[in-house]
Amino acid sequence: MGNIVAIVGRPNVGKSTFFNRLIQRREAIVDSVSGVTRDRHYGKSDWNGRNFSLIDTGGYVVGSDDIFEAEIDRQVELAIEEADAIIFMVDVESGVTPMDEDVAQLLRKVDKPVLLAVNKVDNNKRLENAVEFYSLGLGEYFPIASTNGSGTGDLLDALIAALPVNEAEEETELPRFAVVGRPNAGKSSFINALIGEERYIVTDIAGTTRDAMDTRYNRFGFEFNLVDTAGIRRKSKVKEDLEFYSVMRSVRAIENSDVCLLILDATRGFDGQVQNIFWLAQRNRKGIVILVNKWDLVEDKKTNTMKEFEAMIKREIEPFTDVPVIFMSVLTKQRIFKAIETAVKVFENRSKKIKTRELNDVMLPIIEQNPPPAYKGKYVKIKFCTQLPTPQPQFAFFCNLPQYVRDPYKRFIENKLRNEFDLTGVPISVYFRKK
């Protein structure tokens, strides 16, 4: 399983800015008002070939009367318990504060790597002032400036060295299918219907499933591991400690799956939270099958209702629209085996290895007929392509001027790859490199 790194500290020390720099996109809200990060943000990052998940926790405050602060404090403590390593961020401008000392006292009791990052160190004077953070009793510190990235390389080097190397899990070579979605969408009922027994507690109470659990499925010629994840709620709705654990483990289950079966409630639609789960799976380059459950409960269905619903989903997930959508009912077992057949096919697509000769025989004539448009008077000539040796389909196209290949042409190449080699349900990556 992947490593989890928690970023903790009091409010307004720059955790969100640091988080955004590591994941290379502005997902967390960054604001100078204390306490803006009321919940956690999740992201993936990598350094020196090691991938890890990041959690930007809310600012830690001790003794606050604010009900939100009390909740944030508990969530921070849970993140520390669940994480494999902790980055404790402080602010050289403010110096050592009583809150910093409270957090340090908490972290000194933790039996896992803790790295002290002193933020906003952007000149020599502040570098001298950072010495006072030795008083926190956490050993060496790392002076950084999250706004411009200064010092983050040394911090990440130390982080990777400190992260535990996960013991290799028993290699079953079985595909892992993660069943994901909002609470009460029918995930546990779906697995119960597949395996023919009441393996999971099923109630109308959202969040009954508290943890990610594996079930080996071996019926009708299919064999794989099913992972039932706890329902992922909107972050503002995460109140209970156990449910916060569930969210973190759901994220981890997605990251360590091959295919995600995204179940949604047809009566609620493809709402923002379901879309967030979809994009989480897509960013992790997982195969995806969308399962529209409770289709039998949709009223006033007409001839084109199913097509219109699918078209609505495809609009929301553009430009990655090559995703199978299955309409089913777990209650009546309508199309649930079709869902599994489709998931197995998506897994096969994700595992597909295309021979270099075959790839070139197919793609080079297409490229010759549809070359990249000239850009700034420069003509790109693509001479060779190959599939990279990665777990999911990634392709490299070698040319003379890769910097002049624009995004629309990359999407054109991706669509041609999908059409020619059947990569439905699989996010693919296309790179243009210097010949």
Does the annotation place 119 within a ligand binding site? yes
141 is in an annotated binding site: no
9 annotated binding-site participant:
yes
CB 48 within 8 A of CB 98: no
**Is 217 annotated as ligand-binding?**
no
Distance CA 198, CA 175 (A): 23
Q: According to the annotation, is 57 in a ligand binding site?
A: yes
Does 184 count as an annotated binding residue?
A: yes
Q: Is 295 known to sit in a ligand binding site? A: yes
* CB neighbour class for 109 (10 Å; exposed up to 12, middle 13-18, buried from 19): exposed
Q: How far apart are the first and last CA of the chain?
A: 36
Tell me the H-state helices in 108-151: 124-129
CB 267 within 8 A of CB 184: no
Q: Judge whether 92 is annotated as a binding position.
A: no
Helix residue spans in 132-286 (DSSP H): 152-162, 187-195, 241-255, 272-283
Is 435 annotated among the ligand-binding residues? no
- CA atoms of 231 and 240, how far apart (whole Å): 13
Is 276 marked within a binding site? no
Asked whether residue 12 is marked as a ligand-binding residue, the answer is: yes
Interatomic CA distance for residues 68 and 49, integer angstroms: 37
Query: Does residue 158 come out as left (phi exceeding 0), alpha (psi in the -120 to 50 range) or beta?
Result: alpha
DSSP 155: H
Annotated ligand binding at 153? The verdict is: no
Neighbours of 150 (CB within 10 A): 13
Q: Is 228 annotated as a binding residue?
A: yes
Q: How far apart are CA 309 and CA 275, in angstroms?
A: 14
Is residue 296 annotated as involved in ligand binding? Answer: yes
* 229 assigned to a ligand binding site: yes
16 labelled binding-site residue: yes
Rounded distance, CA 54 to CA 37, Å? 15
What's the CA gap between 300 and 292, in Å, rounded? 17
The verdict on whether residue 181 carries a ligand-binding annotation is yes
Q: Which amino acid is at 3?
A: N
Tell whether 14 is in a known binding site.
Answer: yes
Determine whether the annotation assigns residue 154 to a binding site.
no
Query: What string of H, E and C letters represents the secondary structure of 397-420?
Result: EEECCHHHCCHHHHHHHHHHHHHH
Which ranges of 256-327 does DSSP label H, i.e. alpha helix? 272-283, 305-316
**185 labelled as ligand-binding?**
yes
Would the annotation count 56 as a binding residue?
yes
Distance of CA 399 to the CA centre of its chain: 32
**150 has binding-site annotation:** no
183 is in an annotated binding site: yes
Distance, CA of 256 to CA of 66 (rounded, Å) = 37
188 a known binding residue? Answer: yes
Question: Which positions make up the binding site?
Answer: 9-16, 56-60, 119-122, 181-188, 228-232, 293-296
Question: Which positions make up the binding site for GTP?
Answer: 9-16, 56-60, 119-122, 181-188, 228-232, 293-296
